Amino acid sequence: MDAFRILTNPHKTEKSISLVETENKIVFIVNRKAEKADIKKAFEQLFNVKVEKVTTLITRDGRKKAFVKLHPDYLAADVAAKLEMV
């Protein structure tokens, strides 16, 4: 699956943006069929960062949300700035 089809769009809520600052995580809405390994590979490929962990959940409205924790050597704030989240 193509990286642009896996990562649909960043989740821009107040809580998601606070995770960028406090836990070095970025929250994305992803394709429902994407697996954690697919999400990790796509994120690393698109943003040239190293991903430490991916956690997913299905929202009430049926979308899949991925919490992408970056390796401590990389800052989620830098990725968020590229995405114009902050």
pLDDT in tens, 3-44: 889 999 999 999 999 999 999 999 999 999 999 999 999 999
What are the residues facing 51 on neighbouring strands? 70
End-to-end CA distance of the chain: 29
Q: What domain range includes position 53?
A: 3-82
Pull the structure tokens for residue 60.
Answer: 């009430």
Pull the structure tokens for residue 77.
Answer: 């704030």
Which residue did the predictor score with more confidence, 4 or 56? 56
Which residue did the predictor score with more confidence, 54 or 3? 54
Number of domains in the chain: 1
Q: Does residue 2 register a pLDDT over 90?
A: no
Its pTM stands at 0.92
User: Can you give the CATH number for the domain in which 32 is found?
Assistant: 3.30.70.330
Residue 86: the pLDDT is 64
3-state helix, strand, coil in the chain (%, to 5): 40, 30, 35
Q: Name the pLDDT band for 80 (thresholds 50, 70, 90).
A: very high
